[in-house]
Amino acid sequence: MLVTGYGAVTPLGHSADETWTAMLAGRSGIDTVDGMDVTGLDVRIGGQVKGFTPGRYMPPTVSRRADPYARYALAAALEACEHARLVVDDRLAPRVAVIIGSGYGPVGSIYRAANTLRDRGPRAISPFTQVTTAMDSAAGEISMRLGIQGPSRAQSTACASGADAVGAGMRMISHGEADIVIVGGADACVTTVDLAGSGNARALSRRNDDPTAACRPFDTHRDGFVMSEGAAVLVLEAAEVADSRGATPLAELTGYGASSDAHHWTAPHPEGRGACLAVEAALRDAGISGADVDYVNAHGTGTLLNDATETAVLHKVLGDRVTRIPVSSTKSMTGHMIGAAGAVELVASIQVLRTGDVPPTINCDEPIDPDINFVPHRAQHHDGLRTALSNSFGFGGHNAALVVRAV
């Protein structure tokens, strides 16, 4: 099926174009966290969406009730539909679906509601609380705003949520359940609770004095990932539906695979078994082998275990092809957007295929594998890129991989 539009809200910009331009420039969206009291936290850096104005995308009644993650998702969905020139009219509405992935969901609203109950009592709790603190609130806001009458649902598989949402949308179209699916991921978990928890798990970088250098995928001196927020949403369509609408295809989604490590809550399987299963399944679904992959947008979090494991997985699944193609981690600039990561990185992968420009892995000063081109520091141009692989591996052993092809 075809991708006909996409939108994004990230620490690098409030649109897909702004985000892509910043990626190619090698600009980091990571900084000292502001807007909340981080005194006493071991980790005080993150990738925040700054300067976002909800009123540009939604009326005050929506922005007041919606958690930031749902606001970002709605803004990205509106951009994606505008990009696809998609108007959901009465004829289309029953055949359009929406799936939004999120690892954490509306955690800010949950924390605020708990604090309100503690400080002001039950009468101060909003009657919208049970809606706005639900994982499906982003999908609900999008379906109501766009008039979507097909299935609307949430997807939650930690850091693989965005990629799994795309995969679920692919299956929905291939099984005839919908003709068009609005898919993506969103999270807004740069909170004191989540920084404290992930920091105590020793998963986060502690380079508080040098935020832009903190996320160092595939670098020998990496010390953890950086928590970030944002959203990305794509429009998927059956080819015949896109053709009948006169939509311009941006790329073709050809493969999806998913698996579980069944090993540990925060550590990947030491042999990368689950990740291998997901990547192999995606390649098999696309009807190709590792020798056909021209670019990899790696999961590349900057943690000690993930980067070493993913490097081994790429060698195993792609063989010597991995030493002859660019492999980059855009998380080096965005930070780890959790449930939004897979969707943002799919958008980046599509842009690579459309332009031949490959965004860099910044801060990769001493690559852990000198045989792989991690596109260190600066963007590169490569001609003839036809097929990209995008990996997403999450806490709990959730793994997802997507294969996309140029059109």
The residues assigned a catalytic role are 159
233 Cβ neighbours under 8 A, 6+ residues apart: 6, 7, 8, 73, 76, 77, 79, 80, 100, 142, 182, 183, 184, 186, 343
Residue 311 to residues 33, 160, 314: CA-CA distances in angstroms?
Answer: 31, 18, 5
**Distance (Å, whole) CA 134 – CA 137:** 6
Let me know the angle formed at the C-alpha of 275 by 321 and 296, rounded to the nearest 5 degrees.
Answer: 40
**Distance (Å, whole) CA 253 – CA 147:** 25
Residue 348 to residues 191, 260, 344, 390: CA-CA distances in angstroms?
Answer: 26, 25, 6, 9
- Ramachandran region, residue 224 (left: φ > 0; alpha: ψ -120 to 50; beta: rest): left
Stated length of the chain? 407
**Distance (Å, whole) CA 364 – CA 376:** 5
Report which residue type is found at 214.
Answer: A
Neighbours of 378 (CB within 10 A): 13
Place of tokens 């990009």: 83
By DSSP bridging, strand 96-101 and strand 152-155 are: parallel
CB neighbour class for 407 (10 Å; exposed up to 12, middle 13-18, buried from 19): middle
DSSP reduced 3-state for 394: strand
Alpha helices in 12-158 (DSSP H): 16-25, 60-65, 68-84, 107-120, 129-132, 137-146
